[in-house]
Chain A
C-alpha cells in the first residue's frame, strides 16, 4: 500500500483498477510518396482538417449543453485554429514540395509549431502548447497516423493514470462512462484540465509528480479528489472504508439537485450560513449554483501574480465590480493581498528571505508598501458602493497591525469622500485569524472588528509548527489536533462575547468530517470551495444542534488526534447512513 498526495481538483472518491495511459510521444513513420500519390495525400490533409473541425464543433455543442458555455469555450480556440487556412496551406505545401505523406507532413508541422510554445519562457504560452498538442492529436487521429487507445472497449471501470491529460482527453474519458476518475503527474488546479474535470464531476488528482512511476495498469487505486489523495493497492479494510465513502458520496451527489434550493438548517431549526471561497470572479456563479449564500473569501492574489506591474486601482475595481455583480446582493468578503514579498514585489530586486513564511508577507508587506495597499483599498472601498462588500485583512498577528490597516482604510475613504463618493453605510472590516497570536488575543481583535474568520490552513501550520509541504512532517498537519480544536473554541467564544461575527474559511470548513464538530463549537458561518457545499449542507440538515454539542464535548475530552478522527468518522458515518 502506498499513499501519494497531489492537488485535488475535483471532489469525489472512486475505487477501481488503474489504467496507465501510454506516455510515449506518438511517432508517425516517415513516409514519402510517389509523385502520382500527391493529390491523394493532399486530399487526406483536407479531409483530416475538415473532420477534426467538425468533430470539435460537435463536441463543443454537446459540452455546452451539458456543462455550459464557459466550459465549451475552452475548445473555441481549437475550432478556430482548425478552420484557419494557414496551417492547412503550409502542410499542403510540404506534401507537394517534399512529397511527404499526409500524416507525416501534419506531424512534422504540428511538432514544430508546438515546440515554439514550449520553448517560450512564459508559462502562459506553455499552457497554450498543451492546447496545440490537443489539436495535433486530433488531426493525427483523423488522418489515421495513430493507434488510439480503445477506451470505449473497456469492460470494467478504470481510473486513468497519465503523465498529463489534455482537455479533449478529459472530455473523451468522461464520455466512455467507464473511466471513474484520473490521476496525473503534472497539472495544477487552474489548468483547463482541472476545470473540466470539476465541471464534469469526474474525481481527479493532479500534480502528483511521479504517480506514473508508481502505478501499473491493474493496480487497485483509490482517488480522493477532495483531499488530493491517491492510494495504491489499499489493504482490505482500507478498501472497504473507501468503497463505503465512494458509495455514500454517489448517493449524496444523487440528491444534489433537490438540495440546491433547500436551506442549510439543522433538524432542530438552526440555520447555518454556507459561503463560498473563490479566487476569480467567474467562480462566484459556481458557488451560488452549489447553494452558497454569498462569498466568505475572495482571494485577490491572482491580481498580483502576473508579469509586469501590479494592476492599478481601476483594473482592480473592475475585477471586484464583476464579482459583486455576479454575487447579486449576497455578501462578498474581499481579502487584501496575502502573498510573500518573493511573489508580489515589483519595485526593484527582492532579497530572498530565509523564512518567507515568517517574513514580510500579506498585511505586513501591504503596510510597508502603502502605494500598493492604498490602491487595493481604494478599489475595494469604491466597489463597496455597489453591494454588500466586506474587507478582510490576512495574517494579522497584533492589534497594532489591525489599527494601522484600519487607519489606512479610513484615510482612503476620506479621500474618496472628498472626491465625491458617498459612503452611505459603513464598510465592515474583518480579520483572518490564522496566527496563534491572533487566536489567543481574539478578544482584543474582536473588539475592534466586525468579524473574525478562522483561516485554519495557516493557523494549523503555525500552531503545530509544521510545514505541510514538507514530506517529512506533512503527516503531523491535522485539523483534528486537540490544540487546534481548543483554539477554535476560544476564538468563537471571544468573538461572540465582543459581538464580532466568527466564521471559518480554511479547508477544515469544507471537510465534511468536521462539520458536526464545527457546529458544536459554535460556528454558524462556514466558507468553503464550491464543490464541498452540497455535502456539508447535507450533513447539517441531518443533525440537531444537540447532537453537535454532544460531539463537541466528547471531542474535547480526547487527548490525541487519532481518537478525535476515529470518533468523528463514526459520528459522520452515522449521519450519512441516514440518507
Chain B
C-alpha cells in the first residue's frame, strides 16, 4: 500500500469467476460507505475512475476475473478503508 498525508492506495485484481456482478458491487459500496474518507476506484486498463461509495457510478464499472483496479482513499481513515476494501475483493467478496 502506498500512503502519505491521509491518502492511501492499493491495487487489487478481481478473482471471482463471475467477475463484478451486482452483488459484489453492492458489498463494496456498502463497506466503502462505512468509512469517512472519500473512496475512488480506478480501472487500470482504461483509466476510468468512479466514486466507490456511489451505486450509480459503481454500476458503470465493469470487471471480469483478472481485471485490475486501484482503490484510493483520502481522509482520516484512508489506510483502514483501503485495506478493508482490498480484503473484500481478495476474499472474492465472500462468494464461491
Interface residues of A (CB under 8 A from B): 73-74, 76-77, 80-81, 83-87, 113, 116-117, 120, 122, 124-125, 128, 131-132, 303, 306-309, 311, 315-316, 318-319, 322
Interface size class of B (residues with CB under 8 A): 20 to 34
Closest B residue, CB atoms, query A82: B55
Find out whether the CB atom of A84 lies under 8 angstroms from the CB atom of B26. Answer: no
Find out whether the CB atom of A77 lies under 8 angstroms from the CB atom of B66. Answer: no
B59 CB contacts on chain A under 8 angstroms: 77, 81, 128, 132
Q: Which of A124, A132, A309 contacts B21 (CB 8 A)?
A: A124
Find out whether the CB atom of B18 lies under 8 angstroms from the CB atom of A318. Answer: no
Main secondary structure of the interface of B (DSSP, over half): loop
CA distance A318 to B16 in the complex (A): 10
CA distance A328 to B57 in the complex (A): 39
B51 within 8 A of A: yes
Find out whether the CB atom of B54 lies under 8 angstroms from the CB atom of A76. Answer: no
A120 CB contacts on chain B under 8 angstroms: 62
Quick one: given A116-B60, A122-B62, A318-B96, are A306 and B18 in contact (CB under 8 Å)? yes
Interface residues of B (CB under 8 A from A): 15, 17-19, 21-23, 25-26, 29-30, 51, 54-57, 59-60, 62, 64-66, 92, 96
Quick one: given A120-B62, A124-B19, A309-B66, are A81 and B96 in contact (CB under 8 Å)? no
Closest Cβ of chain B: how far from A517's Cβ, in Å? 39
Quick one: given A306-B17, A322-B96, are A86 and B62 in contact (CB under 8 Å)? no
A131 CB contacts on chain B under 8 angstroms: 22
Q: Which of B54, B64, B92 contacts A86 (CB 8 A)?
A: B54
Find out whether the CB atom of B92 lies under 8 angstroms from the CB atom of A77. Answer: no
Q: Which of A73, A81, A307, A316 contacts B64 (CB 8 A)?
A: A307
A122 CB contacts on chain B under 8 angstroms: 62
Q: Which of B55, B66, B92 contacts A308 (CB 8 A)?
A: B66
Closest Cβ of chain B: how far from A334's Cβ, in Å? 15
A311 CB contacts on chain B under 8 angstroms: 17, 65
Q: Which of B22, B57, B64 contacts A76 (CB 8 A)?
A: B22
CA distance A306 to B21 in the complex (A): 12
CA distance A125 to B51 in the complex (A): 18
